[in-house]
Structure 1
Amino acid sequence: MNTNLNKELKRYLMILIGGVVLAAGVSFFLVPNKITSGGTPGMAILINYFTGLSVGTIMLAINIPMVLMSMKFIGRGYAFRTIFAIVVIAMAADLFIEELKFPALTQEPLLGAIFGGLLIGIGLGFIISSSASPGGPSIIASFIARKTHFKEGDLIIMLDALIVLAAGFVFPTLDSMLWSLLGVYLTSRGLNVIISGRPSKKLIHISSNNAEELKTQLVHKLGHEGGVVIEGSTLHSGNERGLLMLIVDNSKVRAVHQIVEAADPTGVVVVMEASELMGI
């Protein structure tokens, strides 16, 4: 019981931190520079521009009914944590903008998009990794992710992009939409760093005529005992080639290139991010 309680309290603490960080990104960087974001904050910024209603009030008005209608799909625990996140974000945003009236930290739209987007992404990451949602489209994304193989983060960004495109029709200049798109991209980067962590390893595919010798050199020089060798043939010539797949630290990628160049100058190397690892 104590373990479960501690786990739940930790979740709520992380949601609190994430909500305040997200609200700070909206209040200090986006709203003053007429830049929108994705999700409910973005919708609230657009509506605030027309109506003058507080950003927090608009977020509550949009989110609470949506959460209540979706409770049977997302579960009570998830719903309660989501409601807590929504309330924290709304109250923090109104506290910063309406009550304390903090000035904008920058009047430069580029800086507003960069730092606003990153703060929102970091805040989202804390909330989502704590089994909650900041509301709005992310509730829809969470439901779709549970039923499909799509990643929740990718779905959120797709829905957010649609909201941001609306900024081009709302704000007086097209610049606002372009800055907003930059902000959404940086939000995705901040979100992925918190959820997946910064990739510290690379997945490397090596196509070689001398796969066995290359494998021996890699193990000898890198001390790498993992990896797989697959035998196959090229599409056009039908020549037999080996395909090596291995995971290495970022710092060893250059060494792999040098080993392949020395052992097989015709070898082909493809390097990819290993952003989610399990079982190693």
Structure 2
Amino acid sequence: MTTKITLELRRYLQILVGGIVLAAGVTLFLVPNHITSGGTPGMAILVTYFTGISIGTIMLSINIPMVLMSMKFIGRGYAFRTVFAIVVIAMSADMFLEMLKLPALTQEPLLGAVFGGMLIGLGVGLIVKASASPGGPSIIAGMIAHRSHWKEGDLIIALDALIVFSAGFVFPKLDSMLWSLVGVYISARGINLILSGRPSKKVLHISSENAETLKAHLLHKLGHEGGVILEGTTLHTGDERRLLMLIVDNNKVQSVRQIVQAYDPTGVVVVMEASELMGG
């Protein structure tokens, strides 16, 4: 019981930090430079520009009804954490803009898009990792996906794209939409970094005619790294060829290349990021 309470407290603390960071990215970088983002912050920025209503008020007005409507699709714990996240983001945004009246940290749109996107990505990543949602299109997408054949991920991308492209019509300059796209891209990278972590391993595919020789030298050099040898034939000639698939630390990639060059100059090495690893 104590473990569950501790875990839940850590989640709420993580949501608190994530919400404040997200709000800082929106209010100190995006809003002053007429840049929007995906999700509820993006919608709030656009509506605020027209109405003058505070961003926090708009976020609450959009998100709380969505959470209430989606209660039967999401668990009670997830719903409570999501409501907490929404309240933290809204209150932090209004505190920065309305109460403290903090000035913009930059008037350069490029810097605003980059650093605003980074903070939003970090904030959303922390919130999602704590088993909650910052609200917005993710809730709408979940509800639509539950009742249709559409995939939730595709719906989120479509709704975010609609919000960002709207910036080109709402703000005086078309540049706002372009900078918004930059910010959204950086936010997505930040979210992936928090949820998946910085890739510390690489996946190597080695096509070779001397697979057994390479296998022996790789085992001697690298030790017990994860790997497998696959049998196959080339597409054009039909010659038999073997494919070694290895998962190695980043700092061992060069060693693998050197071994392949030394013992099979005709071998082909393909290096890929192992962004998510599960299992043993």
Using structure 2 for the length normalisation, give the TM-score: 0.94
Look up the SS of the partner of 1:71 in the other structure. Answer: coil
Could you tell me how far 1:187 is from its partner in structure 2?
0.3
Q: Is the 8 A contact 2:226 2:248 kept in 1?
A: no
CA distance in 1, matches of 2:85, 2:242: 51
Could you tell me how far 1:140 is from its partner in structure 2?
3.7
Change (3 A) 1:72 1:198: same
**Does 1:90 find its partner at 2:90?**
yes
CA deviations over 1:142-194 (Å, ceiling 9, x no partner): 5689999x998886455423321111121111111111111011101111111
Number of residue pairs the alignment of both structures matches: 279
Residue 111 (structure 2) aligns with: 111
Could you tell me how far 1:224 is from its partner in structure 2?
3.7
Q: Which segment drifts farther, 249-258 or 79-88?
A: 249-258
Look up the SS of the partner of 1:101 in the other structure. Answer: coil
Counterpart code for 1:125 = G
Change (3 A) 1:50 1:78: same
CA distance in 2, matches of 1:183, 1:90: 20
Look up the SS of the partner of 2:237 in the other structure. Answer: coil
Within 5 Å, give how 1:19-58 maps onto structure 2: 19-58=19-58
CA deviations over 1:42-87 (Å, ceiling 9, x no partner): 0100111111111111111110111100000011111111011000
Residue 250 (structure 1) aligns with: 250
**Does 1:265 find its partner at 2:227?**
no
Which segments of 5 or more consecutive residues in structure 1 lack a partner in the other structure? none
Which segments of 5 or more consecutive residues in structure 2 lack a partner in the other structure? none
CA distance in 2, matches of 1:205, 1:146: 38
CA distance in 1, matches of 2:245, 2:105: 47
Look up the SS of the partner of 1:166 in the other structure. Answer: helix
Within 5 Å, give how 1:107-186 maps onto structure 2: 107-141=107-141, 156-157=156-157, 159-186=159-186
CA distance in 2, matches of 1:41, 1:86: 10
Counterpart code for 2:128 = I
Q: Is the 8 A contact 2:44 2:58 kept in 1?
A: yes
Using structure 1 for the length normalisation, give the TM-score: 0.94
CA distance in 1, matches of 2:191, 2:83: 20
Change (3 A) 1:144 1:276: farther
CA deviations over 1:218-241 (Å, ceiling 9, x no partner): 111222442000111111110000
Change (3 A) 1:14 1:153: farther
Look up the SS of the partner of 1:241 in the other structure. Answer: strand
Change (3 A) 1:192 1:56: same
Change (3 A) 1:236 1:145: farther
After superposition, the CA RMSD in angstroms is 2.1
Change (3 A) 1:155 1:272: farther
Within 5 Å, give how 1:8-23 maps onto structure 2: 8-23=8-23
CA deviations over 1:101-122 (Å, ceiling 9, x no partner): 0000000111100100000000
Identity of aligned residues (%): 76
Q: Which segment drifts farther, 139-148 or 128-137?
A: 139-148
